[in-house]
Structure 1
Amino acid sequence: MIITIITFIIVFGILVLVHEYGHYFFAKRAGILVREFSIGMGPKIWWKRKNGTTYTIRILPLGGYVRLAGADDEDQDELKPGTPLTIQLNDRHEVTSINASDKTTLFQGIPLQLVDCDLEDELWIKGYVNGDESEVKLYHVNHDAMIIERDGTEVQIAPRDVQFQSASLPARMMTNFAGAMNNFILSLVVFVILGFTLAGVPTNSNQLGKVNDNSVAAKAGLASGDRITKVNDTKISDWTDLSTSISSHPGKQVTITYQRDGKSRQTKLTPKAIERNHQKVGQIGIMEETATSFAARINFGWQQFVQAGTLIFSVLGHMVTHGFSLNDLGGPVAIYAGTSQATALGVNGVLNFLALLSINLGIVNLLPIPALDGGKLLLNIIEAIIRRPIPEKAEGIVTMIGFLILLTLMILVTWNDIQRYFIR
C-alpha cells in the first residue's frame, strides 16, 4: 500500500506539473503575469518567490493550478474599505508590499486602515495611518508591488498591462491549449521510453515470431518467420487481423494460408478454446514478431499513442450515442486503484499507466465544457467570430455554471469509485 501511495503521488504530481507548466510557459511568453504556480491543493507547506511568480507546494497532492493575472483570481486579493493593512515603502515612498494577513508582519510596516485603492490602472492606495481618521493619506503603488493575502500567500499585484485579457487573442488561445498539449507530449514521450525498456517491440505485422513447442500452430507445421496471408477466406495484413481471426474461431477448424521462402502454402488447424474475460476465444500458441531497431522502438511509441487516443475518442463517442454511466468515468479514487494494478506490473506497468492517463487528461480537458480548457478555447473562438471580447460578467456566469456542474459530477464519480473499488 505504501508503494502504491507513493507511486500515486508521483504519477499524479507529474501529470499536474506537466499540464500546468504548459499554461505557465506560454503565459510567460505572452507577457501575462503568472502570480502563483501551485502543486497540490489546500494549505501550503512550502513556497518560494522568483521572477514575479510565487511557487507553492500544498498539502493535498490532488491537482494544482497556475494563477494568471486577471483570470479567475480577482476575488482572492480584493481589498475592501475598512480592511486593516500594513504597507511597506521604498526610498521613493512607493508601496512595495501590502499585507492583508494577520499571519505575518512586515518589517517597519506602516499600519493603514483602507479607504480605497486602485491596483490595476492608476496604482494607488489611500487610508488612515496609525488610526488617525482626521487625514486620508494617498500612496503610489509600485508596478511590481507584492500583496500578502489573507491566507498568508505572497503574490505580485496584477496591473492591467500584465493581465490575461491584455494579451492578444492567439496568445490567450495558446495559453489555454498548452496544458493539454503538454499532456499529449508527455504521453508520446513516455510511450517511446516504454518502447526502449522492452527487450523487443511488437511490429504488428502478419509475420510470426515465436511458435510455442507442441502448440496447435507447431503441430500444423507453422514456424517462426512464416507470413500469414489468409485465415479461411479472410485476408490478413497485420497482427491485429490475425489475432482477431484466430480468436473468433474457438474449437473450429480453419484453413491457414501462409508464405515461406517466397512460396504460398496452406495448412488446417483447430484453435484451442480458452476462456478470457468470461468469453471463449481461440488460441494456437503463436507470438507476435518483435523488433529491436531504434526506428521500430520510436514507431512503437507513436503507434501506442495513436491507439490510446483512438480508444479514448471511441469511448467518448459511445457515451454520446448510447448515453453515459458513472462507471464510464473515473476520478482520483479510480486512478489510485489503477495505480495499484500498474504498480504490481513493475516499472513498465507504471509507465504505461502514466502515458494513458496523460493523453486521457489532455483529451478530456479539451472538451468544450465551461471551466475546462476546452470551454475557455470555445469562448476564445466565439470572441474571434464576433470580433469583440465577451463581456466579463457573461463569461464569469458561464464559467461558474460549468464549475458547479463539474464539481457535482466529481463528487458523484468519486462516490461511485469508492463503491466500485472499496465497498464490496
Structure 2
Amino acid sequence: MKTIITFIIVFGVLVIVHEFGHFFFAKRSGILVREFAIGMGPKLIAHQAKDGTTYTLRLLPIGGYVRMAGMGEEEAELPPGLPLSVELNADGAVTKINTSKKIQLTNSIPMELVRHDLEDELTITGFVNGDESEAITYPVLHDATIIEADGTEIRIAPTDVQFQSAKLWQRMLTNFAGPMNNFILAILLFVLLAFMRGGTPITDTNQLGSVIADGVAEKAGLQTADKVVSIDGKRIATWEDLAMTVSENPEKDLDFVVNRNGQTLEMTVTPRAEKSGNQTVGKLDISVPMKTGLTDKIFGGVTEAVDSSLRIFKALGSLFTGFSLNKLGGPVMMFQMSSQAADAGLTTVIALMAMLSMNLGIINLIPIPALDGGKLVLNVLEGVRGKPLSQEKEGILTFIGFGLLMVLMVLVTWNDIQRFFF
C-alpha cells in the first residue's frame, strides 16, 4: 500500500505540474481550456468556473490532462440523427446543448440533430419534438455549453478561442510550458533536497565529512576533516576516488595515508561489507563533506539539477550508439523505483520525483509527433513556411508518432515485467 500511494503521488504530481504549464499559458494566450482534469477515467466531480474551464476529478488517481479548444481529438462527436435537447434564453438563442442521457434539463427542447456549426456560424439545426416536417435552426451563444455523454459540461469552442487562433509565439510557449514546469519542479526539489540534507556535497575533495560514532572509520582512527592522500598506494584526489576504492574492497585491509592538520599519518582501515542490490560493497561509516551556507544550498540544488539533465542526455545519446530496451523504463520500472524509494524514506522519494521530473521534461522535448517537442518542430516549420500544415497532415503525423510511442511503450513495459517478475 505504501508503494502504491508513493507511485500515485509521484506520478500524479509530475503529470499535473506538466499539464498546469500548458493550462496556464493557454489561458494567458486567450485559448479556451475546456477541461482541466485531475486523474483519468470516469468523472467523479465536475465544476465549471466563470473562466469557462470545467475542473474535474476522475476515478483513476494517476496524472491528469488539459483539453484545449481546437485540439481535434478533444472535440465531442455530434453526428446527424443524434437525439439531444437544447436550452434557450429569452431571445431564443441556445445557451446549453445536452447530449447526455444521465442529465435532464427542466426547460429544454428535445431535438434530433440535423447539422450544426459551433465554430463559425454558431448555429444548430434539428427536428424539434419529433416533428420531421421542418428542421428548425437556432443561434448558439458564443459562451454556450455542451453536456457530453458522461455528464461533463464544457464550453463550446468557437474559432476565435481555439488553439490555432493564438499567435505563433503564444502557441510555442503553450507547447513548451509543460516541460518547462517539469524543469522548474525538478530544480525546486533538488534545492529542497539540499536543505533537507543540511547542505551540498563537496565532491572535488579528498577530505572526510562527518565520521559516524563507533563506525569503522572512527575505530580505525580516522577523524572528521582528515584528508585521504592515498589508499594502498593509489592517489586519492576526489570523493569519488575514495568512495570507489572503498566500495570495491569490502572486508579487506586497506593502507590509508592521511593528512591531518599538516601531519602525515598511516593507518589500516577495513571497510565493512554491506549488501547493495545484488552486490556486496564496502562502507566506512563516513559522510561526504558539505557546504552548508544558504547560497551553497540553493546553487548546489541548481547544480544537481543540471547534472541530472546531463546524465539524461548522456543516456539518450547511448540509445543511438547501442539501442537496448534495458536502457529504457516504463510504468513498471517507475513502480519498482517508487517501491524502493518508499522503503528508503521521504528524502529518497523527493530525489526520485526530482529526477523523474527532469526526465519527463526532457523526454517530452524529443522532436517526435504527439510529444511537445514534435509540436514545437511543427511551430518552427510554420514560422519558416509562413503558414501551418493542414490539420489533416498534422493529424496524420501525430497519429504516426502516437502509434510509434504506443508500440515502444508496450515493448518497454513487457521488458520491464520480464526483468522484475521473471
Q: Confirm or deny a common fold (TM above 0.5).
A: yes
2:315 match:
315
Cα deviation, 1:381-419, whole Å, max 9, x if unaligned, reads 221222211111111001011111212222232233333
Equivalence for 1:293: 293
* Matched AA of 2:32: L
* 8 A contact 1:16–1:39 mirrored in 2: no
Query: For 2:210, what is the secondary structure of its paired residue?
Result: strand
CA distance in 1 between partners of 2:294 and 2:3 (Å): 32
Q: Secondary structure at the match of 1:73?
A: helix
Match of 2:331 in 1: 332
Residues 120, 324 of structure 1: alpha-carbon distance in 2 compared, 3 angstrom cutoff: same
Residue 197 (1) aligns with residue 196 (2): yes
Q: 1: CA distance between counterparts of 2:376 and 2:188?
A: 25
Change (3 A) 1:62 1:409: farther
Alpha-carbon contact 2:216-2:271 (below 8 Å) kept = no
Asked whether 1:98 is paired with 2:60, we answer no
Aligned length: 416
Change (3 A) 1:205 1:107: same
CA distance in 1, matches of 2:211, 2:82: 79
**Is 1:71 matched with 2:71?**
yes
Shift of 1:286: 4.5
Corresponding letter in the other structure for 2:140? V
Q: Could you tell me which residue of structure 2 aligns to residue 42 of structure 1?
A: 41
The structure-2 alpha-carbon separation of the partners of 1:247 and 1:350, relative to structure 1 and needing over 3 Å to count, comes to closer
Once the two structures are TM-superposed, the CA of residue 229 in structure 1 deviates from its matched residue by 6.4
- The Cα offsets for residues 37-82 of structure 1, whole Å up to 9 and x where unpaired, read as 11222211111111201111221223321111001335x4132222
* Higher mean C-alpha displacement, 271-280 vs 108-117: 271-280
1:29 corresponding residue in structure 2? 28
1:166-181 map, 5 Å: 166-181=165-180
Q: CA deviation at 1:216?
A: 6.8
Secondary structure (helix, strand or coil) at the match of 1:110 reads strand
Query: What corresponds to 1:382 in structure 2?
Result: 381
Letter in 2 for 1:372: L
Alpha carbon RMSD of aligned pairs, Å? 2.8
- One-letter code of the match for 1:63? G
Residue 5 of structure 1, CA deviation: 1.7
Note the 1:14-413 alignment, pairs <5 A: 14-50=13-49, 51-73=51-73, 76-206=75-205, 207-211=207-211, 215=216, 223-228=223-228, 236=237, 238-244=238-244, 256=257, 258=259, 260-261=260-261, 263=262, 265=264, 286-325=286-325, 327-413=326-412
Mapped to 2, the partners of 1:3 and 1:270 lie a distance apart of: 39
Q: How far 1:287 moved relative to its partner?
A: 3.2
**2-structure distance, mates of 1:115, 1:344:** 59
- Structure 1's unaligned 5+ residue stretches are none
Q: Report if the CA contact (8 A) 1:273-1:280 is conserved.
A: no
Q: Alignment partner of 1:210: what SS?
A: coil
Letter matched to residue 168 of structure 1: K
2:39 & 2:131 partners in 1: Cα distance?
A: 42
The change in CA–CA distance for 1:23 and 1:107 in structure 2 (over 3 A counts) is same
Q: Which amino acid is 1:166 matched to?
A: S
Deviation, structure 1 residue 257: 7.2
Q: How big is the shift at 1:188? A: 1.3
Deviations 1:286-333 (A, max 9, x none): 4321243322322332233122222212211111111121x3222222
For 1:372 and 1:338, locate their aligned partners in 2 and report how far apart those are by CA, in whole Å.
24
Q: Over residues 64-108 of structure 1, what are the superposed CA-to-partner deviations in whole Å (9 max), with x where a residue is unaligned?
A: 21111001335x413222222200111221111011222212221
Q: CA deviation at 1:27?
A: 0.2
| Kept after mapping to 1: 8 A contact 2:101/2:149 | yes
3-state SS, counterpart of residue 360 of structure 2: helix
Is contact 1:67-1:73 (8 Å) kept?
A: no
Instruction: Tell me whether 7-16 or 226-235 shows the greater mean CA deviation.
Output: 226-235
Relative to the length of structure 1, the TM-score reads 0.88
Contact 2:272/2:284, CA 8 A, preserved across alignment = no
User: TM-score, normalising length from structure 2?
Assistant: 0.88
CA contact (8 A) 1:176 1:373 kept: yes
Alignment partners' CA distance in 2, 1:278 and 1:15: 30
Q: Give the SS at the match of 1:152.
A: coil
Bigger mean CA offset, 179-188 vs 132-141: 132-141
Instruction: Provide closer, same or farther for how the CA distance between residues 165 and 290 of structure 1 changes in structure 2, counting only shifts above 3 A.
Output: same
- Once the two structures are TM-superposed, the CA of residue 255 in structure 1 deviates from its matched residue by 7.6
Unaligned runs of 5+ in 2: none
Which residue of 2 is the match for residue 7 of structure 1? 6
For residue 209 of structure 1, give the secondary structure of its aligned residue in structure 2: coil
User: How far 1:222 moved relative to its partner?
Assistant: 5.4
- Find the aligned partners of 1:43 and 1:296 in 2 and give their Cα distance: 47
* Equivalent AA in structure 2 for residue 71 of structure 1: M
Q: Is the 8 A contact 1:41 1:59 kept in 2?
A: yes
Report the AA paired with residue 182 of structure 2.
Answer: N
Rounded to whole Å, the distance in 1 between the matches of 2:161 and 2:59 is 29
Q: Percent identity?
A: 50
The 1:216–1:99 alpha-carbon spacing in structure 2 relative to 1, beyond 3 Å, is closer
- Bigger mean CA deviation after superposition, 264-273 or 188-197: 264-273
Separation in structure 1 between the aligned mates of residue 388 and residue 352 of structure 2, nearest angstrom: 40
Tell me the CA shift for residue 22 of structure 1: 0.4
Q: 1:82 is matched by which residue type in structure 2?
A: G
1:273–1:317 Cα change, 3 Å: farther
2:146 maps to a residue whose letter is I
Question: 3-state SS of the aligned residue for 1:77?
Answer: coil
Task: Give a deviation string over 1:188-236, Cα, whole Å, max 9, x none.
Answer: 11122222222454232412223466857985x7542234567768572
